[in-house]
């Protein structure tokens, strides 16, 4: 990934959008690189604009097709992304029209499009002249800002809730904190926030959670360096309590990095016999050990393919297993708007296969009487209820440990939809081994 040689806020924003949409890179890495050369305020602007383009892409592309005669090719392609950014500013942001047009046209220089400045200028001026911003599509899929395949799958699964789901997916998520019981307490932390005039709310279902009422730099919150809290969505905070951990248990956190749920487990039950936190990405495990160090916790970190138990398992069975399976991440699109474009319809089947393979291969590593919690941050039933229903039908020593009286073997688990009690979309099912 190489940034444009010349630093320009709009050119760098278009570059981030290009990295995601054309090269399939995650926005996290591209943003970090681009933001490093701008002020705090400009970095926030850059992120807001890039995320805005991802949220409104179908509509922005319709306008682009209407105003650009021929698609741009090769190293000029990035200018299309600059134009999309121009449309976004004009139609959906508070940037003044004058600044949106002139600064976006000037940014073409930094993207090597000196000769195409006139084209960018003409398209943005046409956009204004034809009042395109007030001419948006009334097609539900275009309005949703989601790719067609995803909208259709969501509509099929949740016909009566589709509008609320789409709304939630396009609304920025609140910041949830999880207070580290080993270093502080909910009461103590709430007092620290109140003393600093930082507004927050609590959630009845979450014994360790605080929801901030405004976005603040995390490192500026009380007790960051001291490890008093972690940032973790409310849905993810439900995993550790579901495991019902006790002292001296042997526990596996499978697909554990960067450790949000492992650290919660250790905070909830510090007297475990052992916690093995396994993941197959070493860079993510490095982030996990940094998180563990800040929170003053420790676990045995293992880098391996979870499904290949022969490569990492010593034959001692676990009392508890959390399988936080790799998934489509469709439940966290509100936090990561780029996911909707990075994930392809064709990925889902491969994910299903991987999830089921890991689940099946882990099952023998669980003691009889032990509990496995299966979790995903997906809202697609094929990754959730369908997987667990199939597993129950194929494993006579597995039964459903219900969290809710409405669960059945055909409709097992709890599907949380995005926005429900301010949480991300998530799925949990609890399996007991006989």
Ligand X SMILES: C[S@@+](CC[C@H](N)C(=O)[O-])C[C@H]1O[C@@H](n2cnc3c(N)ncnc32)[C@H](O)[C@@H]1O
Active-site residue list:
377
Instruction: Build a one-symbol-per-residue string for 373-392: x at contacts with ligand X by CB under 6 A, - elsewhere.
Output: ----x---------------
Tell which residue, 174, 178, 214, has the closest CA to residue 196: 214
Task: Tell me if 255 is assigned to a ligand binding site.
Answer: yes
Task: Confirm or reject binding of residue 256 to ligand X (CB under 6 A).
Answer: yes
Task: Confirm or reject binding of residue 42 to ligand X (CB under 6 A).
Answer: no
What distance in Å separates the CA atoms of residue 359 and residue 389, rounded to the nearest whole number?
Answer: 13
Alpha helices (H) in 68-161, listed in sequence order: 78-92, 97-110, 117-129, 140-144, 148-157
Task: Confirm or reject binding of residue 261 to ligand X (CB under 6 A).
Answer: yes
As a dihedral over the C-alpha atoms of residue 325, residue 330, residue 336, residue 338, rounded to 10 degrees, the angle is 110
Q: How far apart are the first and last CA of the chain?
A: 51
Binding ligand X (rule: CB under 6 A), the pick from 61, 280, 361, 399 is 280
Residue with smaller CB distance to ligand X, 307 or 403: 307
Task: Confirm or reject binding of residue 412 to ligand X (CB under 6 A).
Answer: no
Minimum CB distance to ligand X, residue 273 (Å): 21
Task: Confirm or reject binding of residue 279 to ligand X (CB under 6 A).
Answer: yes
Contacts (CB under 6 A) with ligand X, residues 175-214: none
Task: Confirm or reject binding of residue 34 to ligand X (CB under 6 A).
Answer: no
Q: Which residues lie closer than 8 Å to 59 by C-beta, 6 or more apart?
A: 91, 136, 137, 142, 143, 145
Task: Confirm or reject binding of residue 294 to ligand X (CB under 6 A).
Answer: no
Binding ligand X (rule: CB under 6 A), the pick from 222, 305, 399, 402 is 305
Minimum CB distance to ligand X, residue 30 (Å): 19
Cα Rg for the chain, rounded, in angstroms? 24
Task: Confirm or reject binding of residue 419 to ligand X (CB under 6 A).
Answer: no
Tell which residue, 220, 221, 228, has the closest CA to residue 185: 228
DSSP per-residue letters across 29-64: HHHHHHHTTS-HHHHHHHHHHHHHHHHHHHHHHHHH
Instruction: Build a one-symbol-per-residue string for 56-95: x at contacts with ligand X by CB under 6 A, - elsewhere.
Output: ----------------------------------------
What distance in Å separates the CA atoms of residue 137 and residue 104, rounded to the nearest whole number?
Answer: 24
Q: Which residues lie across from 176 on neighbouring strands?
A: 211
Task: Tell me if 303 is assigned to a ligand binding site.
Answer: no
Binding ligand X (rule: CB under 6 A), the pick from 122, 133, 193, 307 is 307
Which pair of tokens denotes residue 145?
């800002």
Pair 403, 430: CB distance under 8 Å: yes
Task: Confirm or reject binding of residue 281 to ligand X (CB under 6 A).
Answer: yes
Tell which residue, 175, 176, 12, 166, has the closest CA to residue 81: 12
φ/ψ bin of 296: left (φ > 0), alpha (ψ from -120 to 50), beta (otherwise): left
Minimum CB distance to ligand X, residue 307 (Å): 6
Whole-number Cα distances in Å, 6 to 3, 43, 58? 8, 16, 29
Contacts (CB under 6 A) with ligand X, residues 12-31: none
Residue with smaller CB distance to ligand X, 90 or 373: 373
What distance in Å separates the CA atoms of residue 36 and residue 32, rounded to the nearest whole number?
Answer: 6
Tell which residue, 36, 29, 19, 47, has the closest CA to residue 283: 29
Task: Tell me if 145 is assigned to a ligand binding site.
Answer: no
Pair 243, 429: CB distance under 8 Å: no
What distance in Å separates the CA atoms of residue 162 and residue 417, rounded to the nearest whole number?
Answer: 10
Minimum CB distance to ligand X, residue 306 (Å): 4
Binding ligand X (rule: CB under 6 A), the pick from 86, 113, 258, 331 is 258
Task: Confirm or reject binding of residue 257 to ligand X (CB under 6 A).
Answer: yes
**Piece of 55-63, 67-75, 258-266, 331-339 that binds ligand X (CB under 6 A):** 258-266
Task: Confirm or reject binding of residue 284 to ligand X (CB under 6 A).
Answer: yes
Task: Confirm or reject binding of residue 326 to ligand X (CB under 6 A).
Answer: yes
Minimum CB distance to ligand X, residue 197 (Å): 31
Coil, strand or helix at 434: coil
What distance in Å separates the CA atoms of residue 346 and residue 351, rounded to the nearest whole number?
Answer: 9
Q: Which residues lie across from 275 on neighbouring strands?
A: 251
Binding ligand X (rule: CB under 6 A), the pick from 58, 113, 234, 260 is 260
Task: Tell me if 253 is assigned to a ligand binding site.
Answer: no
Residue with smaller CB distance to ligand X, 279 or 383: 279
Residue with smaller CB distance to ligand X, 202 or 231: 231
Query: How many residues contact ligand X, by CB under 6 A?
Result: 19
Binding ligand X (rule: CB under 6 A), the pick from 255, 266, 332, 371 is 255
Minimum CB distance to ligand X, residue 326 (Å): 4
Tell which residue, 333, 331, 309, 285, has the closest CA to residue 428: 331
Tell me which residues touch ligand X (CB under 6 A): 236, 255-261, 278-281, 284, 305-307, 324, 326, 377
Q: Which residues are annotated as a binding site for S-adenosyl-L-methionine?
A: 255-261, 279, 305, 324
């Amino acid at each position: 990934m190489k940034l444009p040689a010349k630093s320009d806020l709009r050119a760098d924003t278009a570059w981030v959008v290009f990295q995601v949409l054309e090269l399939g890179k995650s926005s996290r890495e591209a943003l970090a690189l681009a933001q490093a050369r701008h002020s705090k305020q400009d970095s926030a602007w850059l992120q807001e604009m890039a995320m805005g383009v991802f949220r409104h892409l179908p509509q922005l592309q319709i306008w682009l097709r209407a105003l650009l005669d021929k698609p741009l090719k090769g190293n000029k392609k990035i200018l299309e992304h600059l134009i999309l950014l121009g449309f976004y500013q004009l139609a959906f942001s508070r940037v003044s029209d004058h600044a949106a047009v002139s600064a976006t046209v000037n940014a073409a220089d930094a993207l090597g499009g000196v000769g195409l400045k006139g084209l960018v200028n003409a398209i943005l001026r046409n956009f204004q002249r034809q009042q395109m911003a007030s001419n948006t599509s009334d097609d539900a899929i275009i309005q949703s800002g989601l790719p067609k395949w995803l909208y259709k799958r969501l509509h099929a699964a949740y016909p009566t809730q589709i509008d609320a789901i789409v709304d939630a997916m396009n609304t920025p998520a609140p910041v949830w904190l999880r207070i580290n019981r080993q270093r502080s307490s909910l009461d103590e932390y709430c007092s620290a926030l109140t003393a600093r005039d930082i507004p927050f709310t609590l959630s009845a279902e979450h014994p360790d959670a605080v929801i901030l009422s405004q976005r603040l730099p995390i490192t500026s919150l009380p007790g960051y360096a001291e490890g008093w809290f972690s940032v973790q969505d409310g849905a993810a905070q439900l995993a550790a309590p579901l495991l019902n951990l006790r002292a001296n248990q042997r526990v596996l956190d499978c697909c554990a990095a960067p450790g949000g749920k492992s650290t919660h487990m250790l905070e909830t039950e510090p007297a475990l016999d052992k916690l093995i936190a396994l993941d197959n990405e070493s860079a993510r495990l490095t982030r996990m050990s940094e998180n563990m160090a800040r929170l003053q916790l420790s676990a045995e970190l293992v880098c391996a393919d979870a499904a290949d138990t022969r490569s990492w398992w010593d034959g001692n069975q676990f009392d508890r297993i959390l399988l936080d399976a790799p998934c489509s991440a469709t439940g966290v699109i509100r936090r990561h708007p780029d996911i909707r474009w990075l994930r392809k319809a064709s990925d889902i089947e491969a994910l299903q296969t991987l999830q089921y393979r890991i689940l099946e291969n882990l099952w023998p590593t669980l003691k009889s009487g032990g509990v496995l919690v299966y979790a995903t941050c997906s809202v697609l039933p094929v990754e959730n209820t369908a997987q667990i229903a199939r597993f129950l039908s194929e494993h006579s020593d597995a039964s459903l440990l219900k969290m809710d009286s409405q669960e059945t073997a055909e409709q097992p688990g709890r599907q949380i939809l995005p926005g429900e009690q301010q949480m991300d979309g998530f799925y949990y099912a609890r399996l007991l081994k006989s």
